[in-house]
Amino acid sequence: MSSSTGPSGGPRPKEPRSPLAEATSLLAHDLNNQLALLLANLEFLEEIFGGRSDVDPDVRETMATSQAALQHMMTLVRNMSDIGRMEDPGLHPAPAPTDVARLVRAVVREHRPLHDRGSVELRVESAEALRADADALLVKRIVHNLLANARRFVERGGKVRVTAALEEVGGGRDLVLTVSNNGPPIPVERHATLFDKYRINPDGRVARGMGLYFCRLASEAHGGSISLSSDAEFPTVFTVRLACGARAVPA
C-alpha cells in the first residue's frame, strides 16, 4: 500500500504515531512471527504423522483444532495491525493482476481441514481462470476473515459456500466475492452496526467487530462495499464488491 501526495505534489507528510500505536504495531509484528512459527511446527507434525494409520484419532483432532486456533489468532493479530494503517486516509491498496480463483481456492484449502475433518460441506464456485487488478493481500484477508466467521457459526453437517465472479457495472466490471453459510441467521437488531468497529450487543455489552470492520475498510479502499443478505439456501450471505478493473481469461 502506498501513501498519497501532498498539495505540492510531493509525498504527504505523516503525523507521528502515538507511543501506544507504535507499541501495538511492534507487539502485533512479534506475535505474528511467533504464531507463524508455531503453525509451521504443527504443519510439519501433520506432514509426518498425517499419513500414518497408527495415530490416535484424538491426536489428529487435537492437531487440527490447534491449527485452527493459531490461524484464528494470526487473523486477529493481523487485523489489529492493519486496521490502524487502513484508517489512515493517505493509504491506498496496491492493485496488481491477481489470479482470484487460485487465491480463493488456496484460502479455502487452508480452512477445509480445520475443526471439521469433512463434517462441513465447503464448496467454491468460480470460473477456472478469473483475473482482477486488486491488492491480493487485502483480498486474501477479506476471504480469510469471512470464511473464519462462517466456519465459526455453521454446525456439523452444515454448508459453507464461497463464490467469485465478475459483474458488469456502469461500463466497468466489479469483482464480486460472497461467503455464505447455513448456520443460524444473524439477529436483525445487529445488522445496522455489523460492520462498525464497535457495536452494542443485545445484552448491552460493547463488542469490537474487528474482522468485519477490517473487511469493510478493505472493500471501501478498493472503491467497493460489503453487505449482508440471505437466499433460499443460506440465511447468511456476505457480499463484497471491489471496483477494480477485472477480466475473465480462457483457461
Cα(33)–Cα(47) distance, integer angstroms? 21
11 DSSP 8-state letter: B
| Full-model pTM | 0.66
Which pLDDT score is estimated for 251? Answer: 42
Lowest mean pLDDT among 108-122, 157-171, 177-191: 108-122
3-state secondary structure of 183: coil
Which alpha helices (DSSP H) does 50-178 contain, by range? Answer: 57-86, 100-111, 136-153
**What average pLDDT does the structure give for the chain?**
76
Lowest mean pLDDT among 19-23, 39-43, 233-237: 19-23
Pairing of strands 246-248, 130-134: antiparallel
Would you say 222 and 151 are in contact if contact means Cβ atoms under 8 Å apart? no
Which pLDDT score is estimated for 23? Answer: 55
In the chain, where are the structural domains located?
A: 17-86, 95-248
- State the pLDDT confidence band at 207, using cuts at 50, 70 and 90: low
Average pLDDT over every residue of 26-31: 63
C-alpha cell at 83: 486496521
Q: Which helix (H) or strand (E) covers residue 44, if one does?
A: helix 19-49
Average pLDDT over every residue of 120-130: 88
Question: Which of 95, 185, 100 is closest to 140 using CA atoms?
Answer: 100
Question: Which of 91, 201, 154 is closest to 209 using CA atoms?
Answer: 201
| Residue 200 confidence (pLDDT) above 80 | no
C-alpha cell at 130: 478469473
C-alpha cell at 82: 492493519
∠ at Cα 164 (162, 168), nearest 5°? 145
The CATH code of domain 95-248 reads 3.30.565.10
- State the pLDDT confidence band at 226, using cuts at 50, 70 and 90: very high
